[in-house]
Structure 1
Amino acid sequence: MKLDRRREFEANLEKEGLELETEDKSDSKDQKTYFLKIHAPWNVLATYADVLKIKVPFKTSDIPHGQDVPLEWLSRPLRLPEHIMRPQPDYFTYPFDKSKTDFFLITDKDTFFPPSTRNRIVFYILARCPYYKEGQKDRDKTGIKRLLSNGTYSAAFPLHDCRYWKRARNAECESERYNLYSHWAGFLCFYKEQPLNLIRKYYGEKIGIYFAWLGFYTEMLFFAAVMGLICFIYGLLSYDDNVSSKEICNADIGGSIVMLTLFLEIWKRRQARLEYEWDLVDFEEEQQQLQIRPEFEIRCTNKRLNKITQVLRNMNMNTISLIVACIIGVIAYRLAVHAAFASIIKDPMSKIQLVGRFITPQLATSVTASCINFVIIMILNFFYERVAVWITDMEIPKTHLEYENRLTMKMFLFQFVNYYSSCFYVAFFKGKFVGFPGEYTYMFGERSKLRNEECDPGGCLIELTTQLVIVMSGKQIWGNIQEALLPLMRNWWTSRKGRRHTENHNSRWEQDHVLLNFSQLGLFYEYLEMVVQFGFITLFVASFPLAPVLALFNNILEIRVDAWKFTTQFRRPVASKARNIGAWQEILNAVAILSVVTNAFIIAFTSDMIPRMVFLYAYNDDAGMRGYVNNSLSIYDISQIRPYNMPEERGDWFQNSTTTCRYRDYRYPPGHQKEYKHTMQFWHILAAKMAFIIIMEHVVFVVKFFVAWMIPDIPSDVKARFKRERYLIQEYLHNYEVERVKLQLSASFITEPQSELSLMTDKHEVLSECL
């Protein structure tokens, strides 16, 4: 059965004009695997380049590439050699037309189309070629993807260049892979610029856009990291002057935000420049619509059942419900563990000594709960990824771009709830629904004895920071392990003998065959990882200013790990085009807007900034912050506590003479006519919090929109160059057509008089005979 499929498929490929060459299994390393090599001759490349409207050069560009930058010598150590940064000259390009081959700069047909374009065309044919016999029509028997899924073929991939660890001995062998490994994939190159043009030439525009975005994002993180580090250092240096912190830490008493506003606006300009330089300006409108997914052509019918939509909606609700259930489970764990720690400690004011450090029950509970929550997040990710792919497959999107955009939205929604829900709980819900002594609220009713969590005496901000550090750092560490160690170990296990032996004993296709396959969604997961990180450093940066610092160090490593992985551990992916980062652009914009709201609420409701400001300016009587802690604590009569809420009378701290206790809130004391009702100070603080949120959001949004208005999405020089290129293209096309008409006319002047003379002679003869 498989042999018949291969025979029909390969016969249809030859009908398309492709040239096939089979390597016998006896020549392979395992003596079991056949390798089928496919070559696309000029006629096939020209035909499909015309179909796909691939832009090719027709004249060397005479537009200056850039201007001299003042003090350029300062950036010289960061620069790469010119032949690496610009592996080919700039050209004016135009969509290929097979009928106008003399219009284009074709000096050598074998090298006119670069390898990335050739493998893109070949894969386009493979994805649409049927494997049923002539005369039959079976839409399900189409494309290399189905042949791979049913085991007819084991793999299909473009070949890498020659060796990456050593320059090729053969001068004719392309060495772009070696150049990428030497100047890009090495960790010692972390301070160097990325060779984006070489990445684009070797891997295609889609991968090139990803690394351009990742590099730009890392550059912008540097400024955010500096600001965050300044805020953190200032906090440490000003600790001794913080009266309220001293009071909280005194046993006798009880115990800046960096917004990446400019990031998206400046990235739009960088992206517009790349679109122009890489000929991507009109790609989405003209070419992308032609690249219909084979799955759509096979499975799509004129009618689409509404049952699919209903199933999808139910699945979304079920998966989100699963996330909510896990969050509730973690909350219940936190309550139970906190109660266990509290019962172990005889004296509530005492602490557990662990490895020379003192850990309170609240901190121990927070750390262990955050670790468990991180493990649950990693487990749920495994299921959510498959659910999102399954849902998107059922929708049968028409194009690859539409498929990726739909999958992107679904996957990010799952990841958003999965990663950020615990942080949202600590920031906005924990400690907000506790009640007060005698009227405590319980998670599952009073019988459960699981009282809703309270914040640490210093507030919930430190617990939010703990949650953020563990989840964010854990994700980054685990992600780097997955990206670096797992591919290395899997490739080692597959090759068995190690890469150093492959040079003498394996052909180029066998060397690539043992590498990992870079799936169609491989780049999707790279974007997802960075966008989730972007959410961490923007949504909750007010609680942990060092988040951008951690992200910066991670991304410096991430760029080189990804480069090393692409160059050495993965098969060469099929080149594809992309005009921009797609749906991720809108997601980043939405996260940036949401971050303004979340940080405003964190500052207002999670931190003590607003209560302190109200106390300082309205209730301090010119005494500074002295007495703030005492002012923020209310009084409760112990005799009014219900029996099951009564604390255990252990130790010396709870004596019979003690008649009152203190708790964090602004309520009237016992005996007051408004006993245990909120005081006016509570309402003043609440009004101040709401005013702060409204003012902060409006100020930030006004600044954001003003910056967006001031900074155009497309640089003026790019607009000018684009208009001039369009003008020159029209001029050259006009001249080409004029020359073409002249040649046709000159040819007609040579042939037409002879035909007219012959016709006149014939007429004369006929007339003579008639006369």
Structure 2
Amino acid sequence: MTDLAEALLQGRTSFNDQCHESVEMSVSADSDVPTRKLRKTSFVQNLGELPPGVATFADNRRRIDFVLVFTDEADEGTIETREYYHTSLRKAGLHVEEVNPEVEGEGDDGTNFVLLHAPFDFLLKRTEQMAWKMPLNDIEEYESASATNSCYRHFETPLDTHRARPVYYTAPFRKDRLDVYLNHDKPDKFFTSAQRSRLVYDMLQSAQFSDKKSDIGIDRLLESEVYTAAYPLHEGSPEPEPVEPGGDEQPETLRQELKQYWARWGAFYKFQPLDHIREYFGEQIAFYFAWLGMYTVWLIPASIFGLIVLIYGLATMFNDPVVNQTCGDNNTQLCPSCSTCDTTFLNKTCLYARLTRLFDNELTIPFAILMSFWATFFLEYWKRTTAKLAHRWDVMGIEEEAERPRPQYCIAASDYPQQPNPITGTAEPHFPTSNRTPRYFTGWSIISIMFMLLLIFVVGVVVYRTIVVVLLTKAKLGGAASVVTSATSSIINLIIILIMSKVYAKLANVLTDWEMHRTESDYEFNLTLKMYLFEFVNYYSAVIYIAFFKGRFSGYPCHYNLLFGYRQEECAAGGCFYELAQQLLIILLGKQIFSNFMEFVTPRIKLFIENWRRKRKYGELVEHETDQWSNDYHNCEEYGGLFSEYLEMIIQFGFVTVFVAAMPLAPLLALLNNIIEIRLDAIQFVVDMRRPVAMKADGIGIWQNILEFVVKLAVVANAFLIAFTSDMLPQIFYMYHYNHHHDGQSGLDDYVDYTLAEGYQPHACPSINSTGNLSETCRYRGYRTFSGDHTEWYYQLLVIRLAFVVLFEHIVFVIAGLIDLIIPDIPRQLYLKIKREEYLSKQALVEAEAEEDEMRD
């Protein structure tokens, strides 16, 4: 009896990813469980003992490296394309096995699985072609991916402290020098499962599916729905099995280790095992978690600084002279805030003055300066960390081969003559530039219209605020009118932001597809640019309006500027700083809560609905599926990339840096969110999501450039916030002015009175030929004379404000530039280490060749 037949009779082991249990089943013709139909196999290769959690072919020897999924609903052309593709894979050296499970009582559910195995010789050949660096036999040292200082031990995971990965010298792989590489005599350990799947995926991307040389790649077949899914398998169940009934569960696979020590809520205070994440998911995903983890750690000191500003404001809000002047003045009559509002007294704005003091106090300017340097140092430190990790993971300076055209590009360009690739010379689909230019122009025109629509929504919220204030004032709500209006308008603005984000995300993808970008990198760049620009306007437009425009064009008593027949909004007597802080708080908190809720709940709802549908159609048996590939397909959501994750964090980074002067609590709120975000993303990757292909990367890509832009923008924005929105500069100038020009008067005595101008009440405004009633006047915020002209103080203060902006940003940018020059992106020790490793790696290969020559002699 052949080995294959014996394996089929004796049974095989597979893993239930949904129920987290291991089941051994016997496969026979009379079995009551789903039957495996074997169509095509290749020869059996003895790979030794396989690691736990590895799913195999029917022979229980060849591990499954990749899975393709298709349904029976296909025309004859699709079937021929699929068969041609399978033949190409076999010719390339892959082993192919097709599986069609049946469901008891219902027959075939229409889902078919194509299992792929890569023989050792195939992997060696592909590794050499891709010029990967592989570890040599000489061990350098053991070290952890996280900090090794003893004071950090409490925050490390057992994967770091007890199972740290050994670090080896590496060299570009050469198949003819296999014996100098680590585990060359152990085919089952020479490659990790992530490396195996990456090499198979590269083959899937280059295999032909028709006689045309340009018809290549699994992505195009997925786009054409020849296959419904393509993914590498997880390593068994995420939950370990008890050693004995009632005993402790010990993780056996890397997936189980990551689940136990990383992808759980109880590990929120632990460092991330980056080496193990990289080993299982690849460098691209590992870099995302490395960046997110370092950003979260750096938020700790920023949160402490912000709390100090808040605590100082809380401690001084009841004895601050400016606040006390506002709260104790019941004689100063303020002008009405709207056309139908009544006059009120200054002390009615006491609450706003106290709340503004929380964020706008003597520590605001030092805090903004500190956060500007914090962002600069963070970026520089991340560059150095990127270099260290890129070297550690052997991806420093990686160069991908000439990119292939995107599947959508190839399909759309199939009606046009092919042209040779400028690098490879191979004929490939080409979409004429003359046809692309109008599409590109039209796409950006539509985006410009969307930007205008966002601005219309902002104006709409402004009009809403204006109208609601009038209505609530008529309802005799008094001071509560502005509070209710501000809060409700912020919530409405948040709802508009969330809806527009969803709408634009779909529109941006459609437009970027329509623009026909040839390569994936071009596509990602244009999509990222569109999405970030839109989200920037979407999230920040209302904040920018309050910070820099509100109340500056409203006019003054008897000369108010109208908008749709209503007076424009004005800042309260204490300024707009409190309202700005409130807007930032609601948007930041609301966005984070909504995003985390949707990220956690949405996949579970989808899975529940899908399982309910399949259970209803195929019966209870679907709950007991034991094949790893079937569980990964039916019970895990498809990996959608890191784009949305990066975009969410970059928008948050903008709130933390660009507007931090107005919201010192932003770093603390971001810190609390990111602690949840890390574990939520980890659980998704390890448990809820199909395993992604382990892609190589040497950093975070285009997001690094966007971070640098945000850091520079933060410096300028905080300078303008302090200069034109905060009251700190006017107070400092007032103290300086009166200390030098008014004997016996110092500090902030009568500061509030000095900031309020005097004018006619609306009903007493003078006509053209008459004079108003001078006894009926009121005060309003501004530096104007009674006739409405700006005072000399206004122009002096304007010069000071502009000078502060220029001085602030120049100091920060000069120091940041010096830091960039003094601190190299690659640490000197790492530079020397790289050179030494290159030397030793070459020496190892030379010595191996010398030994071989001696043996020949």
- TM-score norm. by structure 2 comes to 0.77
Residue pair 1:363, 1:463 contacting (<8 A) in 2 also? no
Cα distance, 1:484–1:644 mapped onto 2, change above 3 Å: farther
Cα distance, 1:657–1:57 mapped onto 2, change above 3 Å: closer
Q: Report the 3-state secondary structure (helix = DSSP H, G, I; strand = E; otherwise coil) of the residue aligned with 1:34.
A: strand
1:664 corresponds in structure 2 to: 781
CA distance, structure 1, for counterparts of residue 538 and residue 708 of structure 2: 20
Any unmatched runs of 5+ in structure 1?
Answer: 353-358, 646-654, 670-674, 747-771
Partner letter of residue 74 of structure 1?
Answer: C
Deviation at 1:543, TM superposition (A): 0.4
Q: Counterparts in 2 of 1:352-431, with a 5 A limit? A: 360-394=480-514, 396-397=516-517, 399-431=519-551
CA distance, structure 2, for counterparts of residue 296 and residue 328 of structure 1: 35
Of 334-343 and 184-193, more deviation after overlay is shown by 334-343
1:482 corresponds in structure 2 to: 598
1:438 corresponds in structure 2 to: 558
Cα distance, 1:69–1:486 mapped onto 2, change above 3 Å: closer
1:571 corresponds in structure 2 to: 690
1:94 corresponds in structure 2 to: 171
Of 200-209 and 241-250, more deviation after overlay is shown by 241-250
1:491 corresponds in structure 2 to: 607
1:609 corresponds in structure 2 to: 728
CA distance, structure 1, for counterparts of residue 809 and residue 706 of structure 2: 19
Deviation at 1:211, TM superposition (A): 0.4
Q: Does 1:224 align with 2:306?
A: no
1:137 corresponds in structure 2 to: 212
Cα distance, 1:639–1:403 mapped onto 2, change above 3 Å: closer
1:763 corresponds in structure 2 to: none
CA distance, structure 2, for counterparts of residue 489 and residue 208 of structure 1: 28
How many pairs does the alignment contain? 710
Q: Counterparts in 2 of 1:240-639, with a 5 A limit? A: 240-250=318-328, 252=330, 253=332, 254=346, 255=349, 256=364, 257=368, 258-259=371-372, 260=374, 261-283=376-398, 285=399, 287-289=400-402, 293=406, 299=413, 301=429, 304-346=432-474, 351=477, 360-394=480-514, 396-397=516-517, 399-443=519-563, 448-496=564-612, 504-519=624-639, 521-619=640-738, 621=742, 622-638=745-761
2:797 corresponds in structure 1 to: 685
CA distance, structure 1, for counterparts of residue 818 and residue 545 of structure 2: 33
Cα distance, 1:83–1:340 mapped onto 2, change above 3 Å: closer
CA distance, structure 1, for counterparts of residue 145 and residue 403 of structure 2: 38
Partner letter of residue 611 of structure 2?
Answer: S
CA distance, structure 1, for counterparts of residue 677 and residue 251 of structure 2: 30
Q: Report the 3-state secondary structure (helix = DSSP H, G, I; strand = E; otherwise coil) of the residue aligned with 1:62.
A: strand
Deviation sequence 1:424-468 (CA, Å, 0-9, x none): 11111111111111221123xxxx312222112221111111111
Cα distance, 1:321–1:432 mapped onto 2, change above 3 Å: farther
Q: Does 1:6 align with 2:82?
A: yes
CA RMSD in angstroms, aligned pairs only: 3.1
Q: Does 1:728 align with 2:840?
A: yes
Residue pair 1:21, 1:38 contacting (<8 A) in 2 also? yes
Deviation at 1:68, TM superposition (A): 13
Of 22-31 and 604-613, more deviation after overlay is shown by 22-31
Deviation sequence 1:580-623 (CA, Å, 0-9, x none): 01111111111011111101111111111122222222147324
Deviation sequence 1:201-243 (CA, Å, 0-9, x none): 0000110111011000000000100000000110110112212
Deviation sequence 1:297-324 (CA, Å, 0-9, x none): 7746567424423432342243233233
Seq. identity, %: 36
Q: Does 1:114 align with 2:195?
A: no
Any unmatched runs of 5+ in structure 2?
Answer: 1-74, 333-345, 350-363, 414-427
Residue pair 1:80, 1:195 contacting (<8 A) in 2 also? yes
Residue pair 2:406, 2:520 contacting (<8 A) in 1 also? yes
Deviation at 1:151, TM superposition (A): 3.0
Deviation at 1:30, TM superposition (A): 7.9
Cα distance, 1:643–1:127 mapped onto 2, change above 3 Å: farther
Of 42-51 and 28-37, more deviation after overlay is shown by 28-37
Q: Does 1:24 align with 2:147?
A: no
Q: Counterparts in 2 of 1:731-750, with a 5 A limit? A: 731-744=843-856, 746=857
Residue pair 1:516, 1:571 contacting (<8 A) in 2 also? yes
Partner letter of residue 506 of structure 1?
Answer: T
Partner letter of residue 157 of structure 2?
Answer: L
Residue pair 2:637, 2:689 contacting (<8 A) in 1 also? yes
2:220 corresponds in structure 1 to: 146
Deviation sequence 1:132-153 (CA, Å, 0-9, x none): 2xxx3274x5332233233332
Residue pair 1:288, 1:399 contacting (<8 A) in 2 also? no
Q: Report the 3-state secondary structure (helix = DSSP H, G, I; strand = E; otherwise coil) of the residue aligned with 2:551.
A: coil
Deviation at 1:399, TM superposition (A): 4.8
CA distance, structure 2, for counterparts of residue 382 and residue 368 of structure 1: 22
Of 728-737 and 113-122, more deviation after overlay is shown by 728-737
Cα distance, 1:295–1:54 mapped onto 2, change above 3 Å: farther
Q: Which has the higher helix share?
A: 1
Residue pair 2:292, 2:678 contacting (<8 A) in 1 also? yes
CA distance, structure 2, for counterparts of residue 430 and residue 338 of structure 1: 12
Residue pair 2:146, 2:271 contacting (<8 A) in 1 also? no
Residue pair 2:443, 2:515 contacting (<8 A) in 1 also? no
CA distance, structure 2, for counterparts of residue 196 and residue 64 of structure 1: 15
- TM-score norm. by structure 1 comes to 0.86
Q: Report the 3-state secondary structure (helix = DSSP H, G, I; strand = E; otherwise coil) of the residue aligned with 2:672.
A: helix
Partner letter of residue 782 of structure 2?
Answer: D
Deviation at 1:351, TM superposition (A): 4.0
CA distance, structure 2, for counterparts of residue 69 and residue 581 of structure 1: 21
Cα distance, 1:174–1:586 mapped onto 2, change above 3 Å: same
Residue pair 1:86, 1:197 contacting (<8 A) in 2 also? no
1:760 corresponds in structure 2 to: none
Residue pair 1:185, 1:561 contacting (<8 A) in 2 also? yes
Deviation at 1:643, TM superposition (A): 9.4
Q: Does 1:76 align with 2:199?
A: no
Q: 2:124 aligns with which of 46, 53, 57?
A: 46
CA distance, structure 1, for counterparts of residue 854 and residue 567 of structure 2: 92
Q: Report the 3-state secondary structure (helix = DSSP H, G, I; strand = E; otherwise coil) of the residue aligned with 2:607.
A: helix
Deviation at 1:42, TM superposition (A): 1.7
Q: Which has the higher strand share?
A: 2
Residue pair 1:148, 1:155 contacting (<8 A) in 2 also? yes
CA distance, structure 2, for counterparts of residue 623 and residue 21 of structure 1: 88
Q: Report the 3-state secondary structure (helix = DSSP H, G, I; strand = E; otherwise coil) of the residue aligned with 1:635.
A: strand
CA distance, structure 2, for counterparts of residue 278 and residue 60 of structure 1: 17
Deviation sequence 1:480-518 (CA, Å, 0-9, x none): 0121111122223323479x9988532111111123444
Partner letter of residue 668 of structure 1?
Answer: T
CA distance, structure 1, for counterparts of residue 674 and residue 637 of structure 2: 24
Cα distance, 1:587–1:385 mapped onto 2, change above 3 Å: same
Deviation at 1:85, TM superposition (A): 7.2
Of 363-372 and 635-644, more deviation after overlay is shown by 635-644
Cα distance, 1:103–1:221 mapped onto 2, change above 3 Å: same
Deviation at 1:250, TM superposition (A): 4.1
CA distance, structure 1, for counterparts of residue 388 and residue 489 of structure 2: 46
Q: Report the 3-state secondary structure (helix = DSSP H, G, I; strand = E; otherwise coil) of the residue aligned with 1:714.
A: coil
Of 377-386 and 595-604, more deviation after overlay is shown by 377-386
CA distance, structure 1, for counterparts of residue 622 and residue 389 of structure 2: 38
Of 401-410 and 260-269, more deviation after overlay is shown by 401-410
CA distance, structure 1, for counterparts of residue 266 and residue 501 of structure 2: 33
2:206 corresponds in structure 1 to: 128
Q: 1:160 aligns with which of 205, 209, 234?
A: 234
Partner letter of residue 695 of structure 1?
Answer: L
CA distance, structure 2, for counterparts of residue 351 and residue 640 of structure 1: 22
Deviation sequence 1:537-595 (CA, Å, 0-9, x none): 11100001000000000000100000011111100011101100111111111101111
Partner letter of residue 368 of structure 1?
Answer: T
Deviation at 1:162, TM superposition (A): 1.1
